[in-house]
Structure 1
């Protein structure tokens, strides 16, 4: 099955994002893709909280979500809208959506693990200052098979992916806006590890380049097969990439190395002083 990945340099204006996403959706469908994957924060990427506040609204009010649903229906293609910043009461959520080929939202997922770190280059991020984390794992049935949903920093927490693959996910979607330092150090390694652990496909659509708010993101949108082989690496250029998934590859790899069948529940360890 053919899928497409959008690699974008999302800015601070949601109107520009609407136009770009509608164009990418049409191009993905014209290229034969049955499903398009977009990055984390596909609507607005702005670390200036006061400026961003005017463009972050509730799910019902979000123009990017409405436009993507309309464009998906018009093109007849499924879309995993990697995530949008949305308002819920006094707090924000980082929420991804699975949208079907009729433009209906089939599933949504709120990012569980929030990015609160101090990087070696002096950059400091405190996602929890504005955002509330989700509290549930989500998998959705799609034309590509059962899809496990996650977002960016979730990548570092394998227990989430164990829950998703235990629930039957054959593809893990990990949309992201990875920083350059962490991307260069860990992006490829962790993506391949998540694929290898359970013998699944990993699809990771990413932000790239220098953004209007001054941040820099790593790019390298990836598709990794169940053996850990990189099928697509989009480098650092914004654009659209295509990849053909042989979905039977999951059972083939698991038949050779059935690690997922050997999982066992692990109790808290006994600590011997």
Structure 2
């Protein structure tokens, strides 16, 4: 059995504050007995303050892939597996990135492939989806908008991922904000994508998200753990906190695939190939 925790929390530009909050969340998850903790996108340095017109003078701090802050998150993680998002600086290009660490070092990395309109002027897109082995199981990471595209999660499932770690800084609708968060279009889509990506691939999914506000952005929270049948096992709703669920990952996946095995029953020859 593995206890999986997904965090809903606010992070901003103050890296010392962010690291202290990460340390607190790791400590809270450890007290819950979690073996895997998924922190939000941009937990180190915060997300963009405006998706339509990002201010080039107010961007998140960019960290090198080997920045000491990432090593410090690994030290704090110790025996746990922790996924955390940050802005990555690699050769002058900026990426919306995530890294998975433990006390043994870096276990896996991901650069966000699918960039919404505002991010395209700030970040360079990644170009691949790779699963990797961890003490908590084989994991694949997605960063917010990535999960809108079924191919993203499917690529990771085909690479053997048992757990999808979805790190988000997912806001309410920026064009048609609802009077109540429960009525917001993006709030509904956030939950829909989480459940669909788990169910269609018959895997466990841990979805984190930011809370609070950054500039004109208001974030949803709604962290959750979803089973391979698409059922929500634990959630935070809009509040900050941890969604924690105990899951026998291998057994639950096998149960979901006992009769219908989606990955095996695909008919790739019938699908339209992607065109450049």
> Cα offset for 1:233?
1.7
Which residue is 1:229 aligned to?
231
> Cα offset for 1:267?
5.3
Structure 1's unaligned 5+ residue stretches are: 117-125
CA-based RMSD: 1.9
> Cα offset for 1:140?
1.1
Distance 1:108 1:198 in 2: 21
CA contact (8 A) 2:225 2:243 kept: no
DSSP 3-state at the match of 1:266: helix
DSSP 3-state at the match of 2:109: strand
Aligned positions of 1:253-268 closer than 5 A? 253-266=256-269
DSSP 3-state at the match of 1:163: helix
Which residue is 1:134 aligned to?
126
Distance 2:171 2:253 in 1: 30
Aligned positions of 1:90-129 closer than 5 A? 90-100=92-102, 102-116=103-117, 126-129=118-121
Distance 1:233 1:30 in 2: 18
Q: TM-score, normalised by structure 2?
A: 0.86
Structure 2's unaligned 5+ residue stretches are: 50-54, 174-184
> Cα offset for 1:61?
3.3
Which residue is 1:168 aligned to?
160
Distance 1:187 1:43 in 2: 22
Aligned positions of 1:24-63 closer than 5 A? 24-45=25-46, 46-47=48-49, 48-52=55-59, 55-61=61-67, 63=69
Deviation string, structure 1 residues 186-213 (Cα, Å, up to 9, x no partner)? 11111111111121111101111223x3
Deviation string, structure 1 residues 223-254 (Cα, Å, up to 9, x no partner)? 11111111112111112232111211100110
CA contact (8 A) 1:139 1:167 kept: yes
Which residue is 1:120 aligned to?
none
CA contact (8 A) 2:63 2:86 kept: no
DSSP 3-state at the match of 1:60: coil
Out of 239-248 and 43-52, give the one that drifted further. Answer: 43-52
1:71 aligns with 2:76: yes
Residue number among 197, 200, 203 corresponding to 2:200 in the alignment: 197
> Cα offset for 1:109?
0.9
> Cα offset for 1:268?
6.1
Aligned positions of 1:144-183 closer than 5 A? 144-181=136-173, 182-183=185-186
Shift in CA distance, 167/61, structure 1 to aligned 2, threshold 3 Å: closer
> Cα offset for 1:8?
0.9
CA contact (8 A) 1:33 1:242 kept: yes
Which residue is 1:17 aligned to?
18
